[in-house]
Amino acid sequence: ETGVTQTPRHLVMGMTNKKSLKCEQHLGHNAMYWYKQSAKKPLELMFVYNFKEQTENNSVPSRFSPECPNSSHLFLHLHTLQPEDSALYLCASSQERIYTGELFFGEGSRLTVL
């Protein structure tokens, strides 16, 4: 069982819908990340939260809105998405302030925008 859990695993939504992706980690980490994985592209870092504070926003469109209520939970709120936003969204966590350690990933949420 992975220490990082993502729900839902699959999501289909229309361009006018509002939905949210949820990530929960049980590893005691304080840094959490959202990555976007599209076909034939490198994983794209979207957001980073360190101790519940957003420390990076990689020029992500405002139709993606992250929320980190505590160090164990991370959300990605979605609204007015475009078909090109269809991708696998991966959540990850790591020990804070340590860049030598590995990232721990969830299994991802496969998003399809119609």
Partner 1 sequence: AQKVTQAQTEISVVEKEDVTLDCVYETRDTTYYLFWYKQPPSGELVFLIRRNSFDEQNEISGRYSWNFQKSTSSFNFTITASQVVDSAVYFCALSEAAPGGYQKVTFGTGTKLQVIP
Q: Residues in the site for partner 1, rule: CB under 8 A?
A: 2, 4, 9, 31, 33, 40-43, 45, 48, 50, 55-56, 88, 90, 92, 94, 96-108, 110
Q: What are phi and psi of 81, to 5 degrees?
A: -80, 165
User: Smallest distance from the beta carbon of 100 to partner 1, in angstroms?
Assistant: 6
User: Smallest distance from the beta carbon of 72 to partner 1, in angstroms?
Assistant: 16
Please give the C-alpha separations between residue 13 and each of 46, 80, 86, in angstroms, as whole numbers: 20, 10, 10
The smaller minimum CB distance to partner 1, of residues 67 and 96, is found at: 96
Nearest CA among 109, 107, 22 for reference residue 72: 22
